[in-house]
Structures are given as structure tokens and as C-alpha cells.
Amino acid sequence: MLSAEVQKKVESWLSGNYDEATKQELQQLIDSQNWAELNDAFYKDLEFGTGGLRGVMGVGSNRMNQYTVGMATQGLANYLKKAFPNQPISVAVAFDSRNNSAFFAQITANIFSANGIKVYLFENLRPTPQLSFAIRYFKCQSGVVITASHNPREYNGYKAYWNDGAQLIPPHDQNVIWEVEQMKIDDVNFNAQPQLIEKLSTDFDEIYLQTILNHLPNTALSQKHGKDLKIVYSSLHGTGIALVPKILEKQGFLNVSIVAEQAIPDGNFPTVVYPNPEEAEALTLALNKAKEIDADLILATDPDADRVGIAVKNLRNEWQLLNGNQTGVLLMYYLIQTYKEQGKLTGKEYIVKTIVTSYLIDQIAEKNGVECMNTLTGFKYIAELIRFFEGKKHFIAGGEESYGYLINDFVRDKDAISACAYIAEMTAWAKEKGFTLFELLVNIYVEYGFFLEKLVSLTKKGQQGAEEIKAIMENYRNNPPKTLAGIRVLKVRDYQKQTEKDVLTGELFPLEITHKSNVLQFITEDGSIISARPSGTEPKIKFYFSVRTQLSSTSEFEATEKLLQEKVANMANDLGI
């Protein structure tokens, strides 16, 4: 049965200012006595978090629907008027291939316009990074993209951006959250002013693509090797199909094979379990295609094309998916080496990564005189640093282990369109030097140290799952492990409390990162770093393992990798996962 609180909410939706289709859908759930679904749909309001909304689509206060989207948009509109008083306000709105994305985007545009706000609405589905670019290009005060990124098909989401093209950070995120929390359905103005909505056509694509091309450092090498290198690309039924093939062709990569079965945008994602380039299963068709044509590189982007996964041939000439850390290492190494080759390192350059991303990147940066900064998970924190150092230091690139990369700063969120362009160019650069990408990666390990990373995720769905994740974190916080794989834990970093504890002395030291986050890190005597973090976008708790050793030569790669994998397995066992 329903709790009293849920019953009250259900009755308010049945009697309130909601359309008949919504009320009928709700009544069907009641008539079928689907109490579990009703409780989950109404036990809380879908939270407008620091990144916006994300949830299962359907009827209810805890679901993505036109009303939760409407209240989010009205709240954001109210705050924009307070933040930019007595001046014209404009926003950009984009959407991906998910079911209802175009509908939610139109609702969002309608409500902004109803509040007297100019809207640049993408005419067709387009990648998230292009939304960020549009905000900066049109000098908007804000923007919204309708996407749930790589979540399962039943999800959708609403990501809000500020005037620098980055996702909301303090104080704006909390201020918008406060405004949204005040909303009632009767407060939302759905009465669109069509004259304030300007549609962005494919003409805008050329501006964005040309900006990427203008920043690529080795276009001559792309032209030289572009006819020979064979690339397989999959958009995983998402927005990348609109731009990735175009940018590769403009670079000179003329041997690009598109996975046809996944080229049609489709919110049901019929060929994959999860539209996520992190998942090997999602790249099955691309791998089959690559084997068929003897390709050199596989690229696959997620539905909103802000993340990219790649696969290359390993030392055994077998196809291997690289994880986000490995791709990030290759990109950062390539960019830093290119800066060196072209005499562009002045001492003011920096890169940014997250605290759960490979510390091999720190090593590469340090040994080449480039500053490496670490942030909490979330590209908004990388963008925050870019904004802070604008005009003072030069941003080369940023990245996170979850397959997100940003090169240059004309976009302020992870950008798989430009990342695909750089990865293809990097492949040509490596070929010019006589290496495949995998050979280049192993050479990096020999020079800088072998860092092996692994992500283990535990899925805990629903209200009970959220409580289980909370209990797991509390247990680790109150009873941190003393050893992992037989190696002493020397330090415990708590990013919620913003402290680092020396386990041997009991001393507490403040962390440099000022923002709080529910993340714990255990640092062992041999330099391993193990992080525990509840996901902010999925019903998961994630464990990030980073272990390291020296690699004497490429011939020792496989044996050394096996030893590190065994260490990770033992550490995971000690953590009870």
C-alpha cells in the first residue's frame, strides 16, 4: 500500500493542474495496484542537483516528465532574472536522441520564452559540447541540454549551464536549487512566446567544427596518413553521428567506416544493453566491423557525444578496449609532446584531471614542466579552474577517467567531437613515429611508470539501494581498512570532511580542494590509491583502484600487468566487493 505522504501527493496530481493523459496514466497505476511503482514515483521529488535533473521517465514527482522539467525551468528562469537584473537574458537549449528529449527541449524553450527570455533552440538533436559552445558563442547567460548521457533507455535528464558554458557551480547551483524547490505546478508559465525562440540550423555546425579544426596542431600529419588509416566509428544511436564523421572528413581521414546498425538516432538503443562506450558489449558491432576491414582505430561516442571510448590493437595484434585512464594518458602525453615539439611550452601551461583519474598523468606533466591540477569528479570543476586562470595561465587539456576529455577552452564541458578529432590525429602522429597507439602507451609506461587502474561499480537501485550506499560509505568512514592486499594504509582522505588523516600518527591535515564531496581515498605504503564514491548520476557506488610499479621493458608488459591485476583483485576482496 501507499504511505500517507505518497497518497497525499498522488491525490494532488489527480486533482491538480495536470493534463488528462497524465491523470489517466496515474489512475491506471492505481487501478492495477502497482504500489511499488507508485511509491517509487512519488516517495520524493526528483531532485534538482548541482548538475540538474536525471531520472526515470514517467508520471510522478520523482520522474522525468513535462512537469518536473517545467518546474526546473521556471526555477532557473526566476534565478536568471535575479542574477542578471535589468538586462536582456538569453539561453541556448539542445537535446539528444533519447525518447522525449525533443519534447522536453521544446517545453524548456517554451517556458523560458514565456518568461521573456530569448532562446536559441537547436532544430535537431546535437551533442552536449555544442550546447556549451553555443552559450559562449551567443554570449548567453545560461543553457540547458536534455540528456541522460549514457544511462539506460528509461532515463532522461536536464543539465543546466552558466554563462561561461560550464555546468553550474557554487553559488549558482545552490541558488537555482533553492528556486526550483519553491516551485509548485501552478507557478510554471507554459505560455510560449514563439517570437523569442530562434532555431539553430546545421549552419551553426560549421562554426563549431571550424573552431575545432583551427586548433588542431598536426593537421599535416592527418592529411598525410588520413587516406591509409582505417577508422571505425559508432555513435551508439546518439548525436555523434551528426558531427564526428564530418570532422574526421575535414581533417583528411577518408577511410572511416560507420557502424550502420548504430548510426540511426534511437532512444530505445536497440543494439546495446547500455549506450555506454565504457561497456565492452556496446562496442561489439564496432569490433566486428574493425576485424572485418582490419582497421587501425575504433571510436565510439555516447548518446550526447560528450564521452568517447576507443579500441586499438594490442601487442598481440588483438583488439583491446582502452579504459578512460589509458586514453586520457595518451591524449595528455600527445598534447604535451606536441607543445614541446612546436616550442609552445612557456612555463604557464597546465592540465586538469579529477582525483580518481590516473596519477600517471601527474607524472607526465611534472617531468615535462607542465602543472597538473586535480579536482573533484565533474567537469564543472575543471571548467571552474579554466575560468579562474583565464588570462593568467594557458589551459592545454582536461580529462576524467569516465571517458571525458576537453582540449582547448572554447567549450567548457567534456567534448567527444573534438576528442575524436584529436585521437585520430594522435594516431597519425604515432604512425609517423613508427608506433601504434598501444605501443605508444606501453612506451609511456616504460618511461614514466606502469599505472594500472580499474573501476568496480556496485548497482543499488531505488530507495533501499540509496540507503545501502549510504551505509557502505559510513562504514568505510568509521572503520577504514588498515591494510589492502597486505599493504599498510598510510593515509585516509575524506573529501566530505575535507581532511587527510595520517593513520600512523592520527594527525589531520586540510585538503587543498575546497569543495566538498562524498569521496574517501585510501593511500597505501606503496603508493596505491583506492577511492570510494557514490555516483551522482546513477544508482551506484564506485570504487577506483590505482596501483603502480616500474616497467623495465615492453617485453615485461604482460607479466607486470598480470601482477598488478592480481593486486587489484586482492584489494577489492579486502574491501568486501
Secondary structure (H, E, C), 216-251: CCCHHHHHHHCCCCCEEEECCCCHHHHCHHHHHHHH
Which position has the grid cell 540528456? 147
> Which candidate in 90, 101, 142, 149 is catalytic?
149
Cα 355–Cα 413–Cα 54 angle in degrees, nearest 5: 85
121 contacts 115 by C-beta, under 8 angstroms: no
Which position has the grid cell 583502484? 545
Identify the CA nearest to 300 among candidates 280, 273, 329: 280
397 contacts 332 by C-beta, under 8 angstroms: yes
Identify the CA nearest to 126 among candidates 166, 160, 154, 92: 92
Which residues, in sequence order, are CB contacts of 384 under 8 Å at separation 6+? 166, 169, 375
Which residues, in sequence order, are CB contacts of 79 under 8 Å at separation 6+? 172, 175, 176, 179
Which residues, in sequence order, are CB contacts of 252 under 8 Å at separation 6+? 219, 222, 223, 226, 227
Q: Does residue 171 have a cis peptide bond before it, meaning omega lies within 30 degrees of 0? A: yes
**Rounded Cα distance, 172 and 143, in Å:** 13
Give the amino acid at 90. S
Q: Which three cell numbers stand for residue 415?
A: 567534448
Q: Is 149 a catalytic residue?
A: yes
Cα 372–Cα 373–Cα 376 angle in degrees, nearest 5: 140
> Cα-atom radius of gyration of the chain, to the nearest Å?
24
Q: Which three cell numbers stand for residue 199?
A: 532555431
Residue 482: HSE in the Cβ half-sphere, 13 Å Cα cutoff: 2
CA distances 246 to 258, 309, 400, Å, are 12, 18, 25
Which position has the grid cell 577511410? 255
CB count in 10 Å sphere of residue 85 = 8
Residues marked as catalytic = 149
